[in-house]
Amino acid sequence: MEPVYPEFVPDGSLARGEMEALQDDIAEAAVFEDDLDFDPDRVTIDRDSDQRPLADADPPVIAGVDQAFLEDDRAVSAAVALRAGEVIETATAVAETAIPYIPGLLSFREGNAVLAALQALSVTPDLTVVDGSGRIHFRQAGLATHVGVTLDHPTIGVAKNLLCGTPREPIPERLAEGERIPIEADEGVTAPDGTVIGYAYQSRQYDSGSTSINPLYVSPGHRISASTAVDVVARTCGGYKLPEPTRLADSLADEAKGTFE
DNA sequence: GCGACAG
DNA sequence: ATCTTGTCGC
Could you state, in order of their start, the residue ranges of all structural domains in chain A? Answer: 18-48+59-260
**Looking at residue A211, what is its pLDDT?**
85
A47 CB and strand C closer than 7 A: no
**A66 known member of a binding site:** yes
* A18-48+59-260 topology per CATH: archaeoglobus fulgidus dsm 4304 fold (3.30.2170)
A162 CB and strand B closer than 7 A: yes
List C-alpha distances in Å: A70 to A31, A34, A67, A122, A203: 34, 36, 10, 25, 30
Are β-strands A196-201 and A180-184 bridged in parallel, bridged antiparallel, or unpaired?
Answer: antiparallel
Each residue of A58-89: pLDDT tens digit? Answer: 899 999 999 999 999 999 999 999 999 999 99
What percentage of chain A has pLDDT greater than the value 90? 90
**Looking at residue A50, what is its pLDDT?**
63
A38 CB and strand C closer than 7 A: no
Residue A55 has pLDDT above 80, yes or no: no
The residues of A between 125 and 184 with beta carbon within 7 Å of nucleic strand C are: 131, 160
Residue A17 has pLDDT above 80, yes or no: yes
Q: Residue A36's CB: how many other CB atoms inside 10 A?
A: 16
A206 CB and strand C closer than 7 A: yes
CA–C1' gap, A113 and B5, in angstroms:
23
CA–C1' gap, A150 and C1, in angstroms:
24
List C-alpha distances in Å: A18 to A5, A9, A13, A105, A106: 17, 13, 10, 11, 14
A78 CB and strand B closer than 7 A: no
Specify whether the backbone of A194 is left (phi greater than 0), alpha (psi in -120 to 50) or beta: left
Residue at the smallest CA–C1' distance to nucleotide C2:
A69
- What average pLDDT is seen over chain A? 95
Please state the rounded mean pLDDT for residues A22-27. 98
Please state the rounded mean pLDDT for residues A97-106. 96
Please state the rounded mean pLDDT for residues A7-16. 97
Please state the rounded mean pLDDT for residues A94-101. 96
CA–C1' gap, A115 and B5, in angstroms:
25
Among the ranges given (A144-153, A202-211, A233-242), the one the predictor scored with the smallest mean pLDDT:
A202-211
Q: pLDDT-based confidence at A51, cuts 50/70/90? A: low
Amino acid at A186: D
